Amino acid sequence: MIRGLAVVVLVAACAPAHARKYVEPAGESAGLRVLLLNPEAYSVHIAEYDPVACRKSADAGWVSGGRKTDAVRIGMPESEAPREGILERRIPAGRPFAFGTSFIMPKQSILTSLMGATNPGGAGAAALADAQAAICEAPVFTAEPGEFYELQLEPLPQACKSELFRIQLNADGSLQRDAVSTPRIRFPVSINKPSCPDLDS
C-alpha cells in the first residue's frame, strides 16, 4: 500500500502544471524546431511563455518522455521522422515569443524511481536529486514571417544549456545555422516565478 501510494505521489509530482494547449497561429507565422540534444537522459516538456505577462501561457507538448512521441511536422528544412528529442510547431511572426522547458526529469529505471520514492533518504533518491537539471532559460525573439528557427536544449545535472538558431538551406543543399542572440526568460526561484527581460529597453 505504501509503495503504491509512493508511486502515485511520484507520478503526480512529475506532471506538468495544467495550462491551455498551444494553438498554432492562423496568420503570419514562422517555423520552430525544438531539438533536445540528449533525449535518452531526460524527459522534457515544452511550454509557451508570455514574455509580456511573464508567465507560462500554454503547453506545447513532450519533446522527450510522455505517453507518445510527438509526430507533428511542419515542413522544416532537414525535418526528421518522428522520434524522441524533436518537436516542431508553427509560431507567430512579428511579436515577441518564447518556447521553453516547463518540466525536466532525469530518466531513471522504474526500480531506481521506486527506491527513491519509498526511501527519500536512500541512494536512489540521492542519485535522482544529483541528476536533476535546472529549468532551461527561454530565448525571447520576434520571428520573421516564413523563416525557420531551431531551439537546441541540453539539460545537464544542476544546469541546462539553451541556444537559438535561424536555419536555412544553402544552394548546395546544406543546412546553415546562424546563432541568434536574444534576451531570455530565466527561472531563478521556480517555474512559477520566472524573471522576464524588459522588452522596451
- Torsion sign over Cα 6, 7, 12, 14: positive
What is the biggest distance separating any 2 CA atoms in the chain, rounded to whole angstroms?
A: 63
| Helix ranges, the chain (H) | 2-14, 110-118, 123-131
Return the HEC string of 40-85: CCEEEEEEEEECCCCEEEEEEEEEECCCCCCCCCCCCCCCCCCCCC
Q: Which cell numbers hold the place of 135?
A: 529549468
Cα(126)–Cα(39) distance, rounded to whole angstroms?
A: 22
**Could you tell me which of 130, 144, 35 has the C-alpha nearest to residue 95?**
144
- Specify the pLDDT at position 132: 85
| 10-residue stretch averages of pLDDT, the chain, 201 residues long | 34 53 95 97 96 94 94 94 97 96 82 54 64 91 97 95 96 94 86 81 59
Torsion of CA 77, 82, 85, 89, to 10 degrees: 60
- Specify the pLDDT at position 114: 53
Determine contact, residues 24/90, Cβ cutoff 8 Å: yes
Cross-sheet strand order for the sheet of 141-142:
55-64, 42-50, 96-106, 141-142
Cα(31)–Cα(76) distance, rounded to whole angstroms?
A: 7
Phi, psi for 74 (deg, rounded to 5): -120, 20
Q: Tell if the pTM clears 0.75, that is, is over it.
A: yes
